[in-house]
């Protein structure tokens, strides 16, 4: 695994060629909040979607 603290004190030897395949899954959707049946959304958030819903997204990946 490649990890770095991203400072000049802790440099990372990052390979220049990728020898792995990556498969990403991105999910996009909307969520309708029903009072008492879900975790309430934080105040002053700007995820407003259509028809009084909130926009949501998720990402997952597999590398092989």
- How confident is the model at residue 22, as a pLDDT? 83
pLDDT tens track for 4-63: 566 777 777 777 788 888 888 999 998 776 655 556 656 666 677 788 788 888 998 887
Please give the pLDDT value at position 45: 63
Say how far apart CA 24 and CA 58 lie, in whole Å: 10
State how far the Cα of 60 lies from the Cα of 57, in Å rounded to an integer: 11
Domain spans, the chain: 1-64
Rg of the Cα trace of the chain? Answer: 19
């Amino acid at each position: 695994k490649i990890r770095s603290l991203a400072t000049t004190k802790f440099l990372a030897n990052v390979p220049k060629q990728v020898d792995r395949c990556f498969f990403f899954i991105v999910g996009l959707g909307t969520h309708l909040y029903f009072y008492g049946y879900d975790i309430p959304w934080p105040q002053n958030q700007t995820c407003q979607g259509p028809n009084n819903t909130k926009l949501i997204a998720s990402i997952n990946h597999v590398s092989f």
